[in-house]
Amino acid sequence: MDKPGLLQKILNSSGQIQKVFFKTSNGKILSKSEPEYDCPVICMQRGSLHGILLENIDANLYTGYDLKSISNKEEGRVELIFGNGEMKVFDAVTGTDGLFSC
């Protein structure tokens, strides 16, 4: 994401996750953690991310695909193989699966 301002637009439309708590149904804390990464850990609506990316970079949106494998290729490209046997190679990939997707 080296396009000027793109990351900031994404951050402005998201919530940054600073602490994660795993609790029982009655609220007892089972464990907690704080993400430790070189980039922000965020949560946002999928449609918001789609909109920002489609408006600001040369991107395509693929929906309804069953991803079977993902692998790194030469020159930093990414190869995806889908359940229908189709293969696509991209410069970058963002997975935005839904909460209840199986």
Residue 102 has pLDDT above 60, yes or no: no
Q: Which pTM value belongs to this model?
A: 0.64
**Whether residue 70 sits in one domain with residue 49:** no
**Whether residue 69 sits in one domain with residue 98:** yes
At which of 28, 43, 61 does a domain end?
A: 61
**Whether residue 68 sits in one domain with residue 28:** no
pLDDT score, position 98? 64
- Alpha-carbon distances, residue 20 vs 10, 24, 26, 41 (angstroms): 21, 13, 17, 11
- Domain count of the fold of the chain: 2
Distance from C-alpha of 41 to C-alpha of 27, rounded to nearest angstrom:
24
Distance from C-alpha of 59 to C-alpha of 53, rounded to nearest angstrom:
7
CA 24 to chain centre: 27
pLDDT score, position 27? 93
**Whether residue 42 sits in one domain with residue 22:** yes
pLDDT score, position 12? 93
**Whether residue 96 sits in one domain with residue 73:** yes
> Structural domain of residue 99, as residue ranges?
62-102
Residue 46: which pLDDT band, with cuts at 50, 70 and 90?
confident
**Whether residue 56 sits in one domain with residue 9:** yes
**Whether residue 72 sits in one domain with residue 53:** no
